[in-house]
């Protein structure tokens, strides 16, 4: 259901040029009419506002019942940082965060992780941008498990593209939930974006193209 809060978030992504329309290719190699690039957030005001959106969702879902937040490099790093700040400022939930390096550091403190040092039994929530094929999460889980015997109960993302993953009849998010036991919580879905555009009287050609894309690649709720 397209709520006022979801409309507000979609408008925010559009205003920041994060949600874009045109001809794009996703990480999974699919040609798509829309693309979400959180790398386009570039001001303090944008990051502050984005953090509040994520923090509200994290607080609503968990109530603060977790031990740390992980932001996968690279785009997950500012997302987790902004979320951590907003959780404290808006909800009085003070939680540590960590992120990984793409290249393992061989000097100083060394290692592949920066920030909080994971401990056995920690419940870690992942803060990410978009799940298309689940590749980033599959890469992140071994990194976290290599640090300590942790559990990953939740993942929070900006947009659920609702796209089929590696298994016919299942979205990438369904696969993640079944394979790893991780519940994925999006701020909005592709259906929300489509309904928003439809309500704004968007170019019928774009709507038709999105309908075709969703019919071909998506499993809709």
d(CA 20, CA 35) in angstroms, rounded, equals 5
Listed residue (174, 142, 165, 2) closest to 70, CA to CA: 142
The CA distance from 1 to 169, in Å, is 22
How many beta carbons lie within 10 A of that of residue 153, not counting itself? Answer: 16
Q: Which of 5, 27, 31, 105 is catalytic?
A: 105
Indicate the length of the chain as a whole number: 221
CA distance 147 to 156: 21
Which tokens in the block code for residue 19?
Answer: 């949600």
Which of 107, 145, 154, 215 is the catalytic position?
A: 107
Residue 74 preceded by cis peptide, ω within 30: yes
Active-site residue, 105 included: yes
For every residue of 119-188, DSSP letters joined together read -TT-EEEEE-SEESSSHHHHHHHHHHHHHSS-EEEEEEEEEE--BB-SSTT-BHHHHHHHHH-PEEEEEE
Residues with catalytic roles: 105, 107
């Amino acid at each position: 259901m397209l709520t006022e809060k979801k409309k507000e978030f979609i408008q925010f992504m559009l205003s920041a040029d994060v949600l874009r329309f045109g001809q794009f290719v996703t990480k999974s190699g699919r040609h798509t009419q829309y693309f979400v690039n959180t790398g386009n957030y570039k001001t303090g005001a944008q990051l502050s506002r984005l953090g509040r959106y994520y923090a509200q969702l994290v607080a609503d879902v968990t109530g603060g019942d977790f031990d740390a937040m992980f932001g996968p490099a690279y785009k997950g790093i500012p997302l987790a940082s902004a979320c951590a700040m907003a959780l404290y400022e808006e909800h009085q939930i003070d939680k540590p965060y960590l992120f990984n390096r793409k290249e393992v550091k061989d000097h100083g403190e060394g290692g592949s992780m920066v920030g909080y040092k994971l401990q056995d039994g920690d419940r870690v929530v992942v803060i990410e941008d978009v799940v298309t094929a689940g590749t980033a999460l599959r890469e992140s889980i071994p990194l976290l498990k290599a640090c300590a015997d942790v559990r990953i109960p939740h993942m929070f993302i900006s947009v659920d593209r609702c796209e089929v993953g590696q298994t016919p009849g299942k979205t990438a998010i369904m696969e993640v939930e079944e394979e790893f036991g991780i519940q994925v919580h999006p701020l909005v879905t592709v259906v929300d974006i489509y309904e928003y555009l439809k309500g704004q009287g968007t170019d019928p050609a774009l709507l038709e193209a999105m309908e075709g894309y969703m019919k071909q690649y998506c499993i809709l709720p």
